Structure 1
Amino acid sequence: MSSLIQKNNLIQILIWLSLLLLLFVGFFSSEPEEGSTNRSEDLLIISLIWLSMITASYTALYLHTKLFQNQRYVLFGGAIVLALVGIVFSVRTLSVLLLESSFIQSFYSDLVSYSFVMGISIGMRYAKQGLLDRYLLQEMQAQLLKAELDTLKSQINPHFLFNTLNNIYGVNLTDPEKGSEMILNLSEMFRYFLEAQKWDKVTLGEELELIRNYIALERMRLTPANRIELKVQAEVPSRLLPPLLLMPLIENAVKYGVQPGKATTISIDIQQGKQELTLTTLNELHPNHRTASTRTGLKNLSERLERLYPGRFTLHSAAAGNRWQAKLIIPL
């Protein structure tokens, strides 16, 4: 923010210096008026005009801030008129005292000129503020997106990474080929996690590839008694959606659906319709299923969905007999 203010101040200085240069070029590239041989008078006129324009501009901006933006419109109008008359009168009076010229001759044309300067200054302020607001909004949106992705990754990565690395170590001792395959899948996943920070949208196909890599790693980690069934129907995998939107429900189903020493089945069903995508997960229900981290993960996901699809999504999770079902429907 401070860098923006510094850039803005620098731009204003450059604009006023450019105007002064144009005034110099205009005066000294033209022939002197008949009867005028004193170019020092021209220099004084240039300086007087330049300083009066700066005065008019910043007076208008000051009055706009103090009065207009506080809805004191009548007082603002009156103050602008008085300021215009005061500036023009001062300029013409100085010209009489310093150059012995008449200030009555161009009084009204000067009023119009300085009114134009004030109007341009206020108009430029609105344009600058509009650009600044747009820039700040884009920055806030980018920071919000990064925060959302960081939050999601912090929910997925630590637990998953710890278990997977331990498992890869164990598998590598007995089956190096299988361990290498797990390392490849893991590297693909984390490449996706890191690159997803740069993207607002990814294709459904990319998100499905992430999910397949994740499930492949989990299948290698789990015992044959723990099954993960994945069903995907996606006729148009090029459709776009925000990154890492499906993973929280899938990760929760795997994380809390496996019970040590018990045969379990986790079902993951992804169906792409014409205008929507449906994800349904089904896993074994056990007493400790509703943990604090589960509730936090679903709450974070719900908040993110509300920002991305306000009032246009469905997120539901509840017990279905002796199993836990979660369903997410988003528009495509």
Structure 2
Amino acid sequence: MVSFLKKYRAFGIGIILMIILRVLLEYFGVISVNPSHFLENAVLFSFWAFVISITIYKFSYLKERKDIVFKVLGLIVLVFVTLLYDSFVRIPDNPITFILVTTFWIGLVYLVLPQFFKKYRYLIIGVYILILAYFTFVRLGSESFEAYVSDSKERVLLLLVIPVPLFAMLWFYEQWIWLKSIKEGKAKAELELLKTQINPHFFFNTLNNLYSLTIKQSEEAPKVVLKLSDMMRYTIYEGKKETVSLKDEIEYLHNYIDLHKIRYKKKVDIQFTHNIRGNEQIAPLLFIILLENAIKHGLETLSENAFVHIELLSDEDQISFTISNNFERTETPEKPGIGLENLKRRLELIYPKKHTLSIEEAGNVFKAKLNIVGN
């Protein structure tokens, strides 16, 4: 929100300048504002404030483009020609004068907001052609200028100005869409970077395990290589997807657990229970980080009675993953690893306001619970 206000502060400045200009013009008698015509005054004020704001907003652009400056000078000449023509003919609310003035403002919008104008040029020009045609019909079709003034002048003038705030709102909507797309693109790029961090982090630990087995010339080493191959295939091909089947994610976790059971010669208590509906989809490689931490800080640090208990449940509204493990406390607390921080950031990007991650320690038991709602 702050960046949005900073980017478009020119429009706040434009409103302030318009207030000052209105007060000065009214003070010196150049204009006369009728307080009873509130809607007309509000529309006219918004129109001129928007014109001033756009000029300020695009000032640096105009300054750098000499060809644009010459075109602006051409529009200024058009204004003087219009004023001279109107003062010479002296026809109140001359339709030709209104056509020239409208041409000036359309040309100004084209110079200041070229991309916006090119995208909506048929809409903008079409709307003003219809309005000017209606104005010309009403103005020339009236029996007299007095009849025109008494019957329809205010309505017609208001109709001429109404499209301006509507087009301004459309332009702001375009800017909002653009900022949103930039933000989503940034989030997607960051998410892809986080995914690439998962793979090296996980496989670094697994290759260390494999290295220790090959040093010992263990017969379990080929099984580890096969398990690792299956997991790499899942990580590479499924991990790049936005969502995967929860069943496949469970199988991936089972492979990881089996790999560690092959590694450890000591008796370990790893229990993984799950009860799911069967058709759930979830972002890949979320639970593996919590499981990896439980093994790294639990099983690997304890010489006996180590356990890791995992429960994965799902219903129509949420998926719940709970994991607990015991560990040995040390005098120097360990710093949080990259894996947990990575998980938190991924959850913020993928499931904003749709997840809860709670972590607690009770004695020498570490417990983490992840809930994903509305999945």
TM-score tier, shorter chain, comes to 0.5 to 0.7
Using the TM superposition, give the Cα deviation of residue 108 of structure 1 relative to its aligned residue in structure 2, in angstroms: 4.7
Q: Pick from 83, 100, 103 the counterpart of residue 110 of structure 1.
A: 100
Is the 1:253–1:266 contact (alpha carbons within 8 Å) kept by the matching residues of 2? yes
* 2:186 pairs with 1:140: yes
Give the 5 Å matches for 1:1-332. Answer: 68=11, 70-72=13-15, 74=18, 77=48, 86-89=76-79, 108-119=98-109, 122=113, 124-125=115-116, 126=171, 129=175, 132-167=178-213, 169-170=214-215, 173-175=217-219, 178-195=220-237, 198-236=240-278, 238-258=279-299, 259=301, 261-288=303-330, 291-294=333-336, 297-331=339-373, 332=375
Is the 1:203–1:241 contact (alpha carbons within 8 Å) kept by the matching residues of 2? yes
TM-score of the superposed pair, with normalisation by structure 2:
0.55
Residues 1:111 and 1:316: Cα distance change in structure 2 (over 3 Å):
closer
| Alignment length (residue pairs) | 253
Tell me the C-alpha RMSD between the 2 structures: 3.9
What SS does the corresponding residue of 1:292 show, helix, strand or coil?
coil
Report the counterpart of residue 86 of structure 2 in structure 1.
Answer: none
Using the TM superposition, give the Cα deviation of residue 165 of structure 1 relative to its aligned residue in structure 2, in angstroms: 4.0
Using the TM superposition, give the Cα deviation of residue 231 of structure 1 relative to its aligned residue in structure 2, in angstroms: 1.3
Paired residue type of 2:196: D
Residues 1:262 and 1:235: Cα distance change in structure 2 (over 3 Å):
same
Is the 2:309–2:323 contact (alpha carbons within 8 Å) kept by the matching residues of 1? yes
Using the TM superposition, give the Cα deviation of residue 275 of structure 1 relative to its aligned residue in structure 2, in angstroms: 1.4
Using the TM superposition, give the Cα deviation of residue 314 of structure 1 relative to its aligned residue in structure 2, in angstroms: 3.0
Query: How many angstroms apart in 2 are the aligned matches of 1:227 and 1:183?
Result: 23
What SS does the corresponding residue of 2:296 show, helix, strand or coil?
helix
Unaligned regions of 5+ residues in structure 2, if any? 1-7, 22-46, 56-71, 83-93, 117-170
Report the counterpart of residue 62 of structure 2 in structure 1.
Answer: none
Is the 2:210–2:225 contact (alpha carbons within 8 Å) kept by the matching residues of 1? no
Q: What percent identity do the matched residue pairs reach?
A: 22
Query: How many angstroms apart in 1 are the aligned matches of 2:293 and 2:260?
Result: 12
Unaligned regions of 5+ residues in structure 1, if any? 1-64, 93-103
Query: How many angstroms apart in 1 are the aligned matches of 2:265 and 2:115?
Result: 68
Using the TM superposition, give the Cα deviation of residue 84 of structure 1 relative to its aligned residue in structure 2, in angstroms: 8.5
Residues 1:113 and 1:246: Cα distance change in structure 2 (over 3 Å):
same
Using the TM superposition, give the Cα deviation of residue 222 of structure 1 relative to its aligned residue in structure 2, in angstroms: 1.0
Query: How many angstroms apart in 2 are the aligned matches of 1:66 and 1:315?
Result: 39
Paired residue type of 2:268: N
What SS does the corresponding residue of 1:223 show, helix, strand or coil?
coil
Using the TM superposition, give the Cα deviation of residue 194 of structure 1 relative to its aligned residue in structure 2, in angstroms: 2.9
Output one character per residue of 1:10-62: Cα deviation in whole Å (capped at 9) or x when no partner. Answer: xxxxxxxxxxxxxxxxxxxxxxxxxxxxxxxxxxxxxxxxxxxxxxxxxxxxx
Is the 1:252–1:294 contact (alpha carbons within 8 Å) kept by the matching residues of 2? no
The more displaced of 207-216 and 154-163 is: 154-163
Is the 1:85–1:111 contact (alpha carbons within 8 Å) kept by the matching residues of 2? no
Query: How many angstroms apart in 1 are the aligned matches of 2:302 and 2:361?
Result: 20
Is the 2:75–2:104 contact (alpha carbons within 8 Å) kept by the matching residues of 1? no
